[in-house]
Amino acid sequence: MLSPFRVSVIVLSAALTLSPLAYAQSARPPQSGLHKDEKAPTAPAPRHDISGTWVPANGLLDGIQPEGVKAMPNDGKSEHQLPYTPHGLETYKSHKPLIGIDAVAPAFFNDPRDKCEPLGFPRADLYYLRETQIMQNEYKVAVLYQYGEAWRVIWTDGRELPKLVDGGVLVGNEVREPRFYGYSVGKWVDDTTLVVQTVGMMPEDRVWLDITGRPISDALRVEERFHRVNHDLLELTVTIDDPKMYTKPWIAMNKFPMRLEDPHTDVMEVYCSPSEMEKYNQLFANPTSAPAGDTPVR
């Protein structure tokens, strides 16, 4: 039986797919007349259109970001140290990630991801950014992430970004609840660049920034800059501004290249299943994490 969440995704996807604008400019121009080894010239970027299925241009690991956010991996190098506030550092130290310089064994982590919690935003950009389907019409841009089959909507209909207030965001006169994927508003700053602001994400005990346990809070503001360089190339830049956790804004993803994929591609699901996770922990994670002769129990 379909859950309400899945029904919502199906309805949203169907609505956007059927929209006359969805994928309107994704079809590649004809390339007939080329020799076998001759590469077709890349077509220019269409105006105000980032729709399509996009994949990391430099391989899957680039999007998975297994060492932490792409532009600032958590590798101990001085140039990658984040500007933590005291509270940010304390929060980071309370996290027990499976990857990074402070990684723990698989049986001892506390990453919400492995309890099958939603990744949330901006972690959806900063971890496991794989085949990403973007659909748009005149009112909104929908981003469909592969991990967890999660989606979010970026409004491009001219509305204002909600104001951050205690306990959530202010939409008109109404205080609205925090969301895993926040509240997003986008504006075209030129023909090929969509700048998106997002606020209203979950508090620090619900979400992490990346797989290495970097923290975020409900004071977070994120700027995404989607720049379509040409027909086949999209660059994504993500800036983190969280005064509770960091003393200044910093760039987590810098012109991250994504390449347009065959529009017929059927994206494979990547999910977190509590039952499969439990089986994995029992069969593999717990016994490999134990000293010889001892098996920890989560």
Partner 1 sequence: MDKKIALVAAVVVVLVGMSMPLFAHHGTSVFDTSKTLTLKGSVTAWDWSNPHCLLQFDVKNEDGQLVHWIAETQNPGNMVYAGWAKSSFKPGDEVTVTLVPAKNGRPFGHINQVLLPNGKTLDANKGLTTTNDSAGSSGGSKPDNYSK
Residue 223, CA distances (Å) to 62, 103, 109, 226, 293 in order: 20, 28, 29, 10, 50
Closest CB 284 distance from partner 1, rounded Å:
6
With binding defined as CB under 8 A, does residue 24 bind partner 1? no
Residue closer to partner 1 by CB (options 8, 265) is 265
Please give the angle made by the CA atoms of 58, 61 and 66, to the nearest 5 degrees.
Answer: 140
Q: Which of 157, 190, 205, 276 binds partner 1 (CB under 8 A)?
A: 276
Of the listed pieces 18-26, 126-134, 190-198, 222-230, which binds partner 1 according to CB under 8 A? 126-134
Q: Which of 109, 151, 183, 246 binds partner 1 (CB under 8 A)?
A: 109
> Which residues partner with 133 through β-bridges?
53, 144
Q: Which of 52, 68, 88, 100 binds partner 1 (CB under 8 A)?
A: 100
Q: Which of 90, 283, 296, 298 binds partner 1 (CB under 8 A)?
A: 283
Name the residue with tokens 């760039």: 251
Residues 49-78 that bind partner 1 (CB under 8 A): 55-61, 64, 66
Give every strand in the sheet of 174-176, ordered side by side: 163-165, 168-171, 174-176
Q: Which of 205, 270, 296, 298 binds partner 1 (CB under 8 A)?
A: 270
Residue 124, CA distances (Å) to 113, 173, 207 in order: 11, 29, 11
Residue 106, CA distances (Å) to 63, 114, 170, 209 in order: 22, 10, 40, 19
Residue closer to partner 1 by CB (options 139, 271) is 271
Residue closer to partner 1 by CB (options 62, 241) is 62
Q: What is the DSSP string of 4-72?
A: HHHHHHHHHHHHHHHSTTTTTTTSPPP-TT--TTPPPPPPPPPTT---EEEEETT-HHHHH-BTBSTTS
With binding defined as CB under 8 A, does residue 27 bind partner 1? no
With binding defined as CB under 8 A, does residue 1 bind partner 1? no
Number of residues that bind partner 1 (CB under 8 A): 48
Can you give the binding site for partner 1, defined by CB under 8 A?
Answer: 55-61, 64, 66, 98-100, 103-106, 109, 114, 128, 130-131, 146, 259, 261-262, 264-273, 276-277, 279-280, 283-285, 287-292
